[in-house]
Amino acid sequence: MKRRIIEIDREKCNGCGACAEACHEGAIAMVEGKAQLMRDDYCDGLGDCLPACPTGAISFVEREAAAYDEQAVLANKQKKMQEKMRKEGTPLPCGCPGSQSRSIRHTETRQAETAEPVSRLSQWPVQIKLVPVRAPYFDGAKLLIAADCTAYAYAAFHERFIKGHITLVGCPKLDGVDYSEKLTEIIRSNDIQSVTIVRMEVPCCGGLEHAAKTALQQSGKFIPWQVVTISTDGRILD
């Protein structure tokens, strides 16, 4: 199939390895001191590696390439983790929770017995950089796109925002990436029913709002959406 995929210019590559570190799918490795795309089916075409490259050696191209294989990527990650655990002599886990997509179900029993709040998180992972583009929990989902700090600033965040939503969180300032391409693919590839964007009042949070709005526009879908702004002292401003 013909699709968008990365291309690495070996002449421009300085061998720093930043792109290999930034590639969550393990598609890039260092070979003889230069970055190299190891497998087409490990590259999701979203380009998290592009902003990490200091020399501009990575670009997008349209060419014949194997389709992105998420299951193969997850299997490879688990294999590498198991190998690392063996070398370190530590017990092998069943898998890396940071890379394995799963749904979470809660009951009200604990809250009734202890009067403690119940987590409303319904899926894992939640970080925009880690969440898969396609997952069963996206089917018919009400999507929450939230800045990292909002859950700390607003006390009733779980009940007010996470409950009944699929949650994606991130900070464009700290991550140093543009989330719009990945969010576009998530909205375009799944049956998303609505989008709620929760941001802080600080200016840097505008990047998250902009990325979400851009994704909604580029997805080609007409989906109800809203933006909620949280103040630094924990109030809803609008």
CA-atom Rg of the chain in angstroms = 19
Strand 142-147 with 123-124, pairing: unpaired
Q: Is residue 89 assigned to a domain?
A: no
**Which H or E element spans position 226?**
strand 225-230
Is residue 83, in this structure, part of any structural domain at all? no
User: Which range marks the domain in which residue 47 is found?
Assistant: 2-64
Phi-psi region of 32 (alpha: psi -120 to 50; beta: other; left: phi over 0): left
Q: Are residues 113 and 182 in the same domain?
A: yes
CA 220 to mean position of chain CA atoms: 21
Question: For residues 136 and 19, what is the distance between their CA atoms, to the nearest angstrom?
Answer: 29
Question: Are 125 and 178 in a shared domain?
Answer: yes
**Given this model, what pLDDT does residue 91 score?**
46
Question: What's residue 138's pLDDT?
Answer: 93
How far apart (Å, rounded) are the C-alpha atoms in residues 90 and 92?
A: 6
Q: How many domains are contained in the chain?
A: 2
- How does pLDDT run across 138-158, given as a tens digit for each residue? 999 999 999 999 999 999 999
User: What percent of the chain is helix, strand and coil (3-state, nearest 5)?
Assistant: 35, 20, 45
209: CB partners within 8 A, 6+ apart: 197, 199, 227
In sequence order, the β-bridge partners of residue 4 are 62
Tell me the pTM: 0.58
pLDDT in tens, 32-44: 899 999 999 999 9
pLDDT tier, 86 (very low <50, low <70, confident <90, very high otherwise):
low
In this structure, what are the phi and psi dihedrals at residue 213, rounded to the nearest 5 degrees? -65, -40
Whether 58 and 11 share a structural domain: yes
For the residues 83-95, what does the mean pLDDT come to? 52
The DSSP-derived string for 210-224 is HHHHHHHHHHT----
Q: Which helix (H) or strand (E) holds 142?
A: strand 142-147
pLDDT range class, residue 58, cuts 50, 70, 90: very high
Query: Considering the chain, what percentage of its residues have pLDDT values greater than 90?
Result: 62
**Cβ contact 193:142 at 8 Å:** yes
Question: Has residue 126 got a pLDDT over 90?
Answer: yes
- How far is 168 from 145, CA to CA, in rounded Å? 5
**Residues 163-183, mean pLDDT to the nearest whole number:** 91
Q: Which of 37, 64, 91 is the last residue of a domain?
A: 64
**Residue 92 pLDDT class (50, 70, 90 cuts):** very low
DSSP type of residue 236: B
pLDDT above 90: residue 212: yes
Is 60 in the same domain as 109? no
Residue 192, pLDDT above cutoff 90 = yes
- 142 φ, ψ to 5°? -95, 115
Mean pLDDT of 5-24: 91
* C-beta separation of 85 from 25 below 8 A: no
Q: Are residues 117 and 16 in the same domain?
A: no
Task: Please check whether residue 92 lies inside any domain of the structure.
Answer: no
What confidence score (pLDDT) does residue 90 get?
45
224 shares its domain with 106: yes
60 and 107, same domain (yes or no): no
Rounded to an integer, the average pLDDT of 106-129 is: 76
Q: Is the pLDDT of residue 20 over 50?
A: yes
State how far the Cα of 186 lies from the Cα of 144, in Å rounded to an integer. 12
Mean pLDDT of 230-235: 95
Task: Based on the fold, state whether residues 37 and 122 are members of the same structural domain.
Answer: no
Tell me what pLDDT residue 94 has.
44
pLDDT at 104: 74
Considering the domain boundaries, does residue 81 fall inside one?
no
Assess contact for 15 and 33: CB atoms under 8 A.
Answer: yes
Residues 107 and 41 in one domain: no
Mean pLDDT of the chain, nearest integer: 86
